[in-house]
Structure 1
């Protein structure tokens, strides 16, 4: 069901949300953003399958009715917090990305007020890039980075406070 919420909110990611996120299926070419099964994530203790990492770095993004709409990772680095973003597949491409990002940026600013906020995005993902730009991010660098399918071009985008 596609709803057009006026506002998104961040909440601590719980195991129910984590398991649901692992079931999301994106249409190509966005299918590269899918996760392995929840059981595998827990068994390997990786990303939000690790309870400590989930509580320290991950948040769920919900709408006003409390429905899970996506997630964000706030990965702390020296002087920077790097965002990792995932929106529920049926909500992608409907013009809500900037509202979603506003909630994530708000959380990052509250947790890390003195750090720069950045993210990495594949250069072909123009849909995400437009949402990030509408939320105050600017492309500051282009580089290749290793992915599971080989080296790919990425933009680094920085939030302009």
Structure 2
């Protein structure tokens, strides 16, 4: 299959994405994903470690209230979303399965997550943070209607890093 055919295949799949509750089976799968460098900073700890520490979707209450699975038409996990509530804002966290990155899915994947955020809290502004070096993600978010509104350094697992805050603008989509 050529890269154009592969991209077309994944774009077709994009129209069949749906949001579902993030179940333990999904969390276990996400913890097994392995991104290649430099994206390996997005790898999660083991599921056992996340449960033990009660962090992120390892906490059952947080998983149920803030996380969702994105499944394709065959009900395979292709990504996840976090809908983090801040007063007047829904901050998105999202991740696409590593083998689906750079296949043209990003804008549709992000758009589906934005639609869900609007359904959950239509009055809220929607934003996200992205590492400034991650041009692949920035491009997908821009195509989905986000624009960079701020740049700052913040603490990450690997130390301080420059990040962009990107805000969704419905007129841009």
Partner residue of 2:16?
7
Q: Give secondary structure in 2 for the equivalent of 1:7.
A: coil
Q: Give secondary structure in 1 for the equivalent of 2:52.
A: helix
**Structure 1 unmatched ranges of 5 or more:** none
Greater Rg over alpha carbons, structure: 2
Supply the distance in 2 between the matched residues of 1:67 and 1:128 (Cα, whole angstroms): 22
Whether the 8 Å contact between 1:7 and 1:99 is mirrored in structure 2 is: no
Instruction: State the Cα distance separating 1:28 from its structure 2 match.
Output: 0.1
TM-score, scaled relative to structure 2? 0.90
Alpha-carbon deviations, 1:73-101, whole Å to 9, x = none?
00000110100111100000111101111
Q: Give secondary structure in 2 for the equivalent of 1:94.
A: coil
2:43 is the alignment partner of 1:23: no
Aligned length: 160
2:162 is the alignment partner of 1:156: no
Normalized per residue, the structure richer in helix is 2
Instruction: State the Cα distance separating 1:137 from its structure 2 match.
Output: 0.4
2:77 is the alignment partner of 1:68: yes
2:140 is the alignment partner of 1:126: no
TM-score, scaled relative to structure 1? 0.97
Supply the distance in 2 between the matched residues of 1:78 and 1:38 (Cα, whole angstroms): 30
Residue correspondence of structure 1 range 94-113 to structure 2 within 5 A: 94-113=103-122
Supply the distance in 2 between the matched residues of 1:108 and 1:73 (Cα, whole angstroms): 9
Instruction: State the Cα distance separating 1:7 from its structure 2 match.
Output: 3.0
Alpha-carbon deviations, 1:86-119, whole Å to 9, x = none?
1100000111101111110111000010000000
Partner residue of 1:35?
44
